[in-house]
A = this chain, B = another copy of it.
Amino acid sequence: MVYKISKLFFENDLNIEKNDEFVDQENDKFFMRSEVRGRIEQEELAKKLQEALPKGANIRVIAPKKKKIVVMATKESHVLGDILIRHYDGELPVDIVAVISNYDILRPLVEKFGIDYFHVPHGELSRSEHEAKILQLLEMFERIDYIVLAKYMRILTPEFVSRYENRIINIHHSFLPAFIGANPYKQAYDRGVKIIGATAHFVNNNLDEGPIIAQDVLPVDHTLSWQEMRKAGRDVEKVVLARALKLAVEDRIFVYANKTVIF
């Protein structure tokens, strides 16, 4: 496989700048990610790879360009604010198309950075009705690469999620699969754990059960109330989400079997 692919690159004067391979022996799967430089049309290369590789091979040829993201948030500003700062200083190579929230609280922060803010209150609406309004909004924009849930505190319906398969990234404020669901810091406090964490994952239909992209942890002890754990956890949340988002927009993540292969 490596031979076939590298041969094809060689014959098309494509220079490999970075190459990563992984063989999952258990599931008999082969993964490969190559960064190549040269002169060829994207479709042409994809077609040639299609011909060279066995049927059923999953091929993506991606030209490097800024990804477009929409950020969804609720009331908390630390994760959103971190994304805005990283975007401001050029650290995150994305276009933030818009921020959508079910509250109007974060507007002043977002508008400081000249980014559009859309308040879609859920008020009396059913979950589906609320999401319909959000979807309507999303469809107004050009193609969006990723939706980033920066502490968006509402559960999305399977219908919504299925439209953006492996393109919605959430930060959950626990070390999954521990403490699924509401108020994980309170759960962690009640269980008396000595380490807390955060998990960035793609969203699928089951709450907090999508493919994990990145995790990190923080030691705690008995002196912290659960409110203090929540405060302490903020730094982990924002750093882990940023790391996951960076991996995603650099096209480093392969998803399969509800897991991620990351190069």
A residues adjacent to B (C-beta < 8 A): 2-3, 6-7, 9-10, 16-26, 76-78, 81-82, 84-86, 88-89, 91, 109, 112-113, 175-179, 191-195, 197, 211-217, 219, 221-223, 225, 231, 234-235, 239, 242, 257-262
Contacts and interface: CB of A to CB of B under 8 A. Distances in A.
Given A2-B6, A77-B85, A217 B214 contact: no
B221 A262 contact: yes
A218 B20 CA distance: 22
Contacts of A113: 112
B222 A194 contact: no
Contacts of A193: 176-177, 212, 215
Contacts of A9: 3
A214 B235 CA distance: 15
A195 B175 contact: yes
Q: How many copies does the complex hold?
A: 4
Contact of A21 (B19, B26, B84, B261): B19
Among A77, A216, A231, A235, chain B packs the most CB atoms within 10 A around the CB of A235
Given A6-B3, A16-B2, A85-B77, A192 B211 contact: yes
B192 A259 contact: yes
Contacts of A194: 212-215
B78 A222 contact: no
Contact of A6 (B6, B179, B217, B257): B6
Contacts of A20: 21
A199 to B, nearest CB: 8
B195 A177 contact: no
Contact of A78 (B25, B91, B192, B214): B91
Contact of A195 (B10, B78, B197, B242): B197
Contact of A260 (B82, B222, B234): B222
B234 A217 contact: no
A216 B194 CA distance: 8
Contacts of A177: 178-179, 191, 193
13 contacts: A3-B10, A6-B6, A22-B223, A25-B225, A76-B89, A77-B88, A82-B85, A85-B85, A192-B212, A192-B260, A194-B214, A222-B261, A222-B262
